[in-house]
Amino acid sequence: MLPAWSVQILQVLTVLVCAPGISGFVAWLEARLQGRRGPRIVQPYLTLAKQFSKETLAPHSVGPFFFVAPAAAFACYLVVPMLIPVLTSYPLPLGYMGDILGGGFILALGSFLVAVAAGSTGSSYAQLGASRSKTFAAITEPVVLLVVFTVAIITTTDLPYVLGATIRSGPEQIVRPSHLLAAAALFMVILSETARIPVETHTGTIELGMFEEARSFEHSGPLLAMLTWGSATKQFVFYVLLCNVFVAPWGLASTGAVKAVALAVAAIVAKACVVGIVVAVIDNSFAKLRLYKITEFVSAAFLLAVLAVVTLFLGGG
């Protein structure tokens, strides 16, 4: 039996180590769907090693916040795995520090820090990406709030472990209309927050449609590595939240047994790969929306979240 504190650390390490691999898998699968050989799945790890070995360069106009923001944002993304069920179905010692709403605030704080660091550079591209990301975040963040409200109404609490236990209690919990609408809204937010089509082409370098990539234009060396790793970590955290809280909270360890925890690690990686397959198919099936059309996409997510709340009051919960 593993002590609870060691499983807590293992949750963070699982997200930290596996996040670049999930990004590499999605990039590899997208290339295969397009008929290309594409990069290796381990390419993100090699890229990170290369970036950490390079020198850090910065514009003359930046202040200390430019150097602190990547590490602070990276730390924010690593706090959330302490609050959500990554490997266990029962709360760990730090699991009650915050709820889904608190985790959403922490993720938003990390994104805000990166945007402020980009804005302090004076670079037109970096400032453009930062301003655009915060403009659309003004719509996506209320979506997360409404999703949390839906969860709170269903389970009488917004603790992610309780919602996961509710979903595992029976198949009828998954197909309830309010839950399906909330899960669909959350998935649309994930596409937006992880720089995926139809909101953004995460591999593109066209300045007219860049959000996530533009914010790190002026960073280099270890600072760029932390931003890249943090972006992959945020993506994996969203996948974990979707799988282990909303859609498929199975495969989690009910005890601290070594075998059960090891199977939970394999299960979350497999479920994240399944979500990655869906994302890769969407990336290859649709074109990127025009800039003024993105508000319609995120507004549709907001509408689904509102319908989830309204459906509860109409007897669909």
Buried b (16+ CB within 10 A) or exposed e, 110-134: bbbbbbbbbbbbebebbbbbbebbb
In this prediction the pTM is 0.92
What pLDDT, in 10s, does the model give residues 235-262? Answer: 999 999 999 988 889 999 999 899 999 9
Query: Residue 174's pLDDT band (boundaries 50, 70, 90)?
Result: confident
Cβ atoms within 10 Å, residue 221? 16
- Output the pLDDT for position 204: 59
Decide: helix, strand or coil at residue 253: strand
Q: What is the pLDDT of residues 112-161, one digit of tens each?
A: 999 899 888 887 788 888 888 888 888 888 888 888 888 888 788 888 88
- The pLDDT value given to residue 97: 82
Q: DSSP string of 86-142? A: SSBSS--TTTTS--HHHHHHHHHHHHHHHHHHHHTT--HHHHHHHHHHHHHHHHHHH
**pLDDT tens string 270-316:** 999 999 999 999 988 888 888 788 888 888 998 998 898 888 877 65
Provide the pLDDT for residue 262: 95
Proportion of the chain above pLDDT 70, given as a percent? 96
Instruction: Tell me the per-residue pLDDT of 53-77, one tens digit each, with 9 for 90 and over.
Output: 999 888 888 889 999 999 999 999 9
Domain extent for 153: 4-313
Number of compact structural domains in the chain: 1
Q: What is the DSSP-derived secondary structure letter of residue 208?
A: G
